[in-house]
Amino acid sequence: MEVLTEVDPDRIGALRERDEFFWVDLVSPSDERLERLGEALGLHPVALEDTREFGQRPKLDSYGEQVLLVFYTARATGDPGWPAQPLEVHVYISGGYMATVRRDRCTALDDLHETLLPERTEAEDQLVYRVLDALTDAFYPVIDALETQIDALEGEVLGRPRRAHLTQIYRLKQDVHGLQRVLASQRDQFQTSIDQILRLSGLSRGTGAYLSDVGDHLTQVAGELQRQNDDLMALTSTYFNANADRLNAVVTRLTIVSVFFVTWTLVTGFFGQNFGWLVDHIRSRGAFLTYGIGGIVVPTVILVTVFWVKRDDWF
């Protein structure tokens, strides 16, 4: 299978004349390159307009003997703030060729260049499957990266929740929800896309099970993203519960300290009254140590003992 990374009208014309299935993969093409691609492959002007603009929803548009499939994949960025980035790929498919247009680096497609060069083309739908399957499987490393970050964040929240954790949770939720929204739409319309791709005139077909396997993978990926979205929702609740527990622990400690101070204040306040008996009898050092110091130490020891015995039930 011929794999082209530039628009070569002469080479494309020769391949089409020999009815040899080929793949053109363009990265961030200019409008001029897109025009040359459209002329060489006979692409519909409306389809080219979508590719110029990008930002399309997952869809398949049929233009007679060719279709435009807007397909999304993703890549892990390595950035803790925004760990996942969706990638939009426009896939043109006909009975004689396949063309992909993207604006960002996509390792899944780059790695396929050398792999597909020796592939035979008796079942051309298998070649289409190889490209779509690679784009779908690229979600799995992204899911693993998100899972690692969610697990680490959960451990930090359970250990000591901080305000910065809530910001990280909401950013992860945005990433996961964005991917989930795209995948859900892509999964729901993919069976219709399979039917239209397999009906293309001139596209040789194998058993027909290959493209269905891509649909199964899309369902699995969408399910994993839904699970991660649920985990992040639960982690948000865990954050607030952990903060509430931490606040309760602080209030409990303050309450304990206040009990001691209230007791000491009560004792010192009592002995600070100008009762005649107190004024007449508490004059010696022994009386001071017994009534003054003892009056503070004894209730303190009692309170410490009570709090220590009840520490598992109260704290």
Task: Name the domain boundary from 224, 244, 264.
Answer: 244
The reply to whether 192 and 265 lie within a common domain is no
The reply to whether 277 and 187 lie within a common domain is no
pLDDT per residue as tens digits for the range 230-288 = 999 999 988 888 888 777 778 888 888 898 889 888 888 877 777 777 777 777 778 77
pTM: 0.77
Token pair for 91: 């896939």
- Residue 119 has a pLDDT of 59
Token pair for 35: 């025009």
CATH number at residue 47: 3.30.460.20
The reply to whether 181 and 240 lie within a common domain is yes
pLDDT per residue as tens digits for the range 70-95 = 999 999 887 777 788 899 999 999 98
The reply to whether 251 and 171 lie within a common domain is no
The reply to whether 236 and 253 lie within a common domain is no
**Positions of the chain with pLDDT under 50:** none
The reply to whether 36 and 118 lie within a common domain is yes
Q: What domain count does the chain have?
A: 2
The reply to whether 285 and 187 lie within a common domain is no
The reply to whether 294 and 168 lie within a common domain is no
Taking alpha carbons only, the member of 225, 214, 215 closest to residue 108 is 214
The reply to whether 279 and 147 lie within a common domain is no
The reply to whether 233 and 254 lie within a common domain is no
The reply to whether 159 and 107 lie within a common domain is yes
- Residue 117 has a pLDDT of 67
- Residue 208 has a pLDDT of 60
Q: What domain range is 102 assigned to?
A: 2-244
SS3 letters across the chain = CEEECCCCHHHHHHHHHCCCCEEEEEECCCHHHHHHHHHHHCCCHHHHHHHHHCCCCCEEEEECCEEEEEEEEEEECCCCCCCEEEEEEEEEEECCEEEEEECCCCHHHHHHHHHHCCCCCCCHHHHHHHHHHHHHHCHHHHHHHHHHHHHHHHHHHHHCCCHHHHHHHHHHHHHHHHHHHHHHHHHHHHHHHHHHHHCCCCCCCCCCHHHHHHHHHHHHHHHHHHHHHHHHHHHHHHHHHHHHHHHHHHHHHHHHHHHHHHHHHHHHHHHCCCCHHHHHHCCCHHHHHHHHHHHHHHHHHHHHHHHHHCHHHHC
